[in-house]
A and B are shown apart, each in its own frame.
Chain A
Amino acid sequence: MIESHIPALIALTFVVFALLIPAFGVWRTEYSQPLSVIGSGLAAVFSLVGFLNYLNEGSLRYFFGGWEPPIGIEFVYDGMSAFFVLVINTVAFLVLIHSRQISKMEFPGKEMPYYSLAMLMLLGFNGMILTGDLFNLYVFLEISSLSSYALISIGDRQAPFAAFRYLIIGTVGGTLYLLGVGFLYTVTGTLNIIDMSAMLQLSEIFDNSAVFAALILMIVGIGVKAALFPMHGWLPDAYTYASSTSTALIAPIGTKVAAYILFRIIFWLFSIDITDAIAPVSYIVGILACIGILYGSIMAIAQSEMKRMLAYSSISQIGYIIMGLSLANPLGFAGALLHVLNHAVMKACLFLVSGNLRMKEGHSDISRFDDSYRKKYPWTMASFSVAAISMVGLPPLAGFFSKWYLALGTIDNENWLFLAVILISSLLNAVYFFRILEKVYMMNPKKDQKEAAEAKKNEAPASMLIPTSVLAIALIVIGFANAAIVGFLFNIFPV
Chain B
Amino acid sequence: MKRQFKSPIVLLGSRLLTPYIMVFGWYVIIHGHYSPGGGFQGGALLAASILLIRVAGGKQIAKLQIQEFATTPLAIIGVLIYFLTGLVAMIAGGYFLDYGQLPIPGMDPAYLRYTGILIIEVGIGLAVMAILVMIYDNLVRGEDYG
Residues of A whose CB lies within 8 Å of any CB of B are 5, 8, 12, 15-16, 19, 22-23, 26, 62-66
Contact = CB atoms under 8 A, between A and B. Distances in A.
A8 B72 contact: no
Interface of B: 69, 72-73, 76, 79-80, 83, 86-87, 90, 94-101
Contact of A64 (B69, B76, B80, B95): B95
B87 A66 contact: no
Contact of B98 (A16, A22, A66): A66
A115 to B, nearest CB: 15
Contacts of A23: 73, 76
A62 B99 CA distance: 15
B102 to A, nearest CB: 11
A65 B86 CA distance: 9
Given A8-B95, A64-B96, A64-B97, A19 B79 contact: yes
A15 B83 contact: yes
Given A5-B90, A8-B90, A16-B83, A65 B76 contact: no
11 contacts: A5-B90, A5-B95, A12-B83, A22-B72, A22-B76, A62-B96, A64-B95, A64-B97, A65-B99, A66-B94, A66-B101
Contact of B80 (A19, A65, A66): A19
Nearest to B97: A65
The 3 closest A-B pairs by CB, nearest first: A66-B98, A8-B96, A65-B97
Nearest to A7: B96
Nearest to B86: A12
Contact of A66 (B73, B83, B100): B100
Given A12-B96, A65-B99, 9 more contacts: A5-B90, A12-B86, A16-B83, A19-B76, A19-B83, A23-B73, A65-B96, A65-B98, A66-B94
Contacts of A22: 72, 76
Contacts of B73: 23
A63 B95 contact: yes
Nearest to B101: A66
Contacts, number: 40
A23 B76 CA distance: 7
Chain A, interface SS category: helix
Chain B, interface SS category: helix
Contact of A5 (B83, B96, B97, B99): B96
Contact of A26 (B72, B83, B96, B101): B72
Contacts of B76: 19, 22-23
A8 B98 CA distance: 12
A288 to B, nearest CB: 39
Contacts of B94: 66
Contacts of B69: 26
B144 to A, nearest CB: 19
Contacts of A62: 95-96
A64 B85 CA distance: 13
A240 to B, nearest CB: 27
Nearest to A72: B95
Contacts of A5: 90, 95-96
A19 B78 CA distance: 10
A117 to B, nearest CB: 14
A415 to B, nearest CB: 45
Given A23-B73, A65-B99, A12 B80 contact: no
Contacts of B98: 64-66
Contacts of B97: 64-65
Nearest to B116: A65
A8 B95 CA distance: 9
Contacts of A63: 95
B103 to A, nearest CB: 15
A12 B72 CA distance: 20
A89 B67 CA distance: 38
Nearest to B83: A15
A304 B76 CA distance: 45
Contacts of A16: 83
Nearest to B113: A65
A395 B46 CA distance: 63
A12 B87 CA distance: 9
B117 to A, nearest CB: 10
A65 B98 CA distance: 4
A65 B96 CA distance: 6
Contacts of A26: 69, 72
A337 B37 CA distance: 45
B56 to A, nearest CB: 29
Given A5-B90, A12-B83, A15-B83, A66 B95 contact: yes
A156 B84 CA distance: 39
Given A22-B72, A23-B73, A65 B95 contact: yes
A23 B80 CA distance: 11
A66 B97 CA distance: 8
B29 to A, nearest CB: 20
B87 to A, nearest CB: 7
Contacts of B90: 5, 8
A5 B94 CA distance: 10
Nearest to A21: B76
A63 B99 CA distance: 13
